[in-house]
Structure 1
């Protein structure tokens, strides 16, 4: 059982922290809720006590003989502040300790995850961005807010991520401890399958669910990276802590990925782009002919995005490609590794009941340096972690070579 401190600040999203608390307690973790005085105006103390099964700590002066402002932080194995307001981020960045929660943040030596929620203008204000940068530089994890409906009629960036996504993200951070081996790195991950329109109703596509790509994005974020996730036709909950870019066609995927790769340290091409698209798209629904014979569809080849990225790869940038094959997987993957100038290629065999839409994956990693690693059948989250283990090893080797040079 992990001892979790759940800090709750005074924002309208405080009610969502009730669901986050429930997820922690129902999975067997012990949770001490530390709300600010403003948070209690949104959700009362009895609610936190009932959901946590523990007394709620609200004041530095409560049970003063137990020195709660020191004890709670020292005992914590994970601290999650959700929602984290602009005010709280400012106090944490500047070491201000004027209530129990800010005192707890100063005494905690475990991973601290902040899940901000505020209006877009407050999040984008230079003061808030400077405070976030300060916290991240000190090893704290500040999740990027989601984009969506805010208080009232406002819409934009600043929405609290889904509680389930925060929960999953926080547990991954806890498992890694304070080992943020992708800190200060920009990681781009593509996920899902592209769709090429035939007419206003139909499209050419594939069975990719995006689950492996989303697992890779979660893994990179938990390791401290700034993550851009480019998702093609994915019906999965938005992961916390990433910048999400949605695309539809292969050309849209190419444009978004090439743009994001310009500042990326690592690019992981887990999406399944269509190799072909119709040469012409009908403006009206294609009808059956009188004799039932379908009209021919002329296809043209889509650009090879991974090969384009490989040709434009900067010194030190790592490119990870994927090879989903139905037969002779390793042979085809080795050819793709060379053609795409990738540093790593992830190989798997696909087909009915295999990989697409599943929660587990069986992959082999091939390196441009000749290394081969068969990972066996594993949950996709574990596969993602092991892929980034190999990526980090290559980044570390490059850094070591640069220092010697």
Structure 2
């Protein structure tokens, strides 16, 4: 994408240089350039209409984000009128743009959340989408999305793969038991990574036929308590607990299982964690930990302590459980004290109680945000139900000024404006 973007930028720069330095244009040059700009805008709008009608909603990354650059860049071109005939050696038109875009290769790997925020916005509140009852699970304490219709759900004793109807598809027999925490995660190959009964970290193949030891436990004083696979680097983040010192730490492993980083103390040498129960990563690389009975502890990618959230208002107390981040870099955490799902911004400021205890869901405990569908999966402490909500939706990132279509379809003829949803502090949705 960067290569194609640079190529298009170089082409625009070349044409601008040619216009301003080497060619003379007649009095109608400005008029013709304005006409070409309008044609470009109309072409972008037609592509957006096509995308809305035919592209699957799950296909988040859009080439139109790149085209939006051309729309914002073109008005910045300052034209100078001359008296002679225009002679352009190269033209910038929609065929050139489409030729560049057609060569862009989009793969399933990599971090697709960055740069997508301009297409997303918060709704006025969390909208209930569906619920499912997971067979053979007592409580839904941790959730890991695999595909649009498959999720791993765990309680204190089991890790179950289920579809969106609750039908069990596979059960992990050797998972660690006895505690509620983030026992499992999913890597780039849709393989399950989980903590087993011997505190090794295992990998279950995608076809669920082969289990291998990914990280073997070699130090009996440290037990892995929670795991999370980074969707940007595919590093494995592991929350560890020391039974002798009653302290915790976070370790990072690369895709080969090699230890690359340890996060344990702040800049004063004081321990950051007591017992990491759940762990996740934000879009900016921050490591976000739900620390047992204390706080949400956030460190930057390099390990520097950024902040610890201890409830709303600050210091009021927090019993953090399931935790996740969304496409807009919000931090969502289940609080056992207020029995709510609280929403924070990436800097730890409280924004709202996104969800409260309900008859359908009960008390929220497990969380997972699906970046492909922008749905929030919430597991219950009171039963074996998982409820799915939507509170983020797509918005049009472009405005248009084109005239109505000949067929009378006026759905895309009015200018669209981006709106910002304001969350009032303390407001419950």
Give TM class, smaller chain.
under 0.3
Q: Quick one: higher RCO (CA 8 Å, sep 6+), 1 or 2?
A: 2
Question: Greater share of strand residues, 1 or 2?
Answer: 2
Q: Give the TM-score taking structure 1 as reference length.
A: 0.24
Question: Greater share of helix residues, 1 or 2?
Answer: 1
Q: Give the TM-score taking structure 2 as reference length.
A: 0.23
Larger gyration radius, structure 1 or structure 2: 2
